[in-house]
Structure 1
Amino acid sequence: MKRLFPAPLLSLSLCALWLLLNLSLSAGNLLLGLLLGLVAPLMFAPLRPLPVSIRKPFVAIRLFVQVGRDVVSSNLAVAWGILRARSRPPRSAFVKVPLDLRDANGLAALSMICTVVPGTVWSELALDRSVLLMHVFDLDDEARFIEHFKTTYERPLMEIFQ
């Protein structure tokens, strides 16, 4: 059964999305939705990452709240940096952050966090996953930024995924 439906929730979601986008429950749309829901997960099953096991869900919730706070504060900081750019231009820099996190799912979550928090951009990951190159919009102290990044994001992700 698992080979026929590798991701039953995804199959159901794709079928529902197809029907919702077409705004029709006609036989043809229902058939196409079912076909899409069955075939797409089968075709993309080899691309799915390893199953995720979250070891500490409360740490994940705490990290989610922290990222939300950082998104708001970083939006304000970037807006303020843009508004005062004439008097004090931002000190943009590339920062090499040494990583202890090796789990693929944890690194994917870390990349999403870097993407969603304004002022930081995930630029490159070393082939051995030991160093992350990031671009920071306004950097005051590189060592303090690295310590904050590792403490705030990397360590909770290591607790969650490793």
Structure 2
Amino acid sequence: MMARVFAYPRLSVFVLIVWLTLNQSISPGQIIIGTALGLFAAVTLSALQQPGLRAGNPVAILRLVGFVGLEIVRSNIAVARIVLRPRAERRSGFLTIKLEIDDPYALTVLACILTATPGSLWVNYDPRTGLLLLHVLDLIDEAEWASIVAGYEARLKEIFR
């Protein structure tokens, strides 16, 4: 327990300093409250700590970055066409995709990628079933979106083994 309390001493001191600055007082009561808040912050952060990141294969990381960059450019163009041609028929909707990855870091990266890509939004993930709920602005072909997500998954598997 003591290791968790003092796991982040700089954070605890920073919280204390911010507390004293916000209250514009260095009275003993404010110091005690600030110290308690700082220690609470350290314990909370220790409890939230995930196991260390084990990302590897820098070539796979570069391939993923390139693939994501191309997809973002392609999606920006597609969304611009939709916005500039408002009369064009489009069908937005939700799509459920079964994911194979279960690493929390890989899922986080996948969520960031899908949310950063214009026209798609990570809505929900059920870790028990491995199902991802994705919202797509222009849902023409569900199989195409499933293959895009599978492409991201394959690259993430190479990185997070």
TM class by shorter chain equals: 0.7 to 0.9
Matched to 2:138, the amino acid is D
Aligned equivalents of 1:8, 1:73: Cα separation in 2: 46
- Structure 2: unaligned runs, 5 residues or longer: 18-25, 27-36
**Cα distance, 1:89 vs. partner?**
2.7
Please name the residue that 1:23 is paired with: none
Amino acid at match of 1:156: R
Unaligned runs of 5+ in 1: 19-27, 29-35
8 Å Cα contact 1:120/1:134 also seen in 2 = yes
CA offset at residue 37 of structure 1? 9.4
- The equivalences for 1:3-82 within 5 A come to 6=7, 40-41=41-42, 43-82=44-83
- Supply the AA of the counterpart residue of 2:159: I
Shift of 1:148: 2.2
Q: How far apart are 1:61 and its partner, in Å?
A: 1.8
Which secondary structure does the structure 2 equivalent of 1:46 belong to?
helix
Q: Is 2:93–2:137's contact at 8 Å kept on the other side of the alignment? A: yes
Cα distance, 1:142–1:7 mapped onto 2, change above 3 Å:
farther
1:3: how far off?
A: 6.0
What residue number does 1:145 align with?
145
- 2:54 touches 2:160 (CA, 8 Å); kept in 1? yes
Q: String of CA shifts for 1:20-68, please: whole Å, max 9, x gaps.
A: xxxxxxxx9xxxxxxx999855541211222110132221121122212
Whole-Å separation in 2 of the counterparts to 1:129 and 1:156: 21
Q: Judging changes above 3 Å, is the alpha-carbon distance between structure 1 residues 49 and 62 closer, same or farther for their aligned structure 2 residues? A: same
What's the Cα RMSD here?
A: 3.3
**Partner amino acid, structure 1, of 2:136:** V
**Is 1:117 aligned to residue 114 of structure 2?**
no
Q: Which amino acid aligns with 1:138?
A: D
C-alpha distance in 1 between matches for 2:107 and 2:86: 33
Match of 1:158 in 2: 157
Amino acid in structure 2 at the alignment position of 1:91: R
Q: What is the aligned partner in structure 1 of residue 23 from structure 2? A: none
Cα deviation code 1:65-122 (max 9, x no counterpart): 2212222221121111111121x13211211111100111111111111111110011
* Aligned residue identity for 2:141: D
Q: TM-score, normalised by structure 1?
A: 0.72
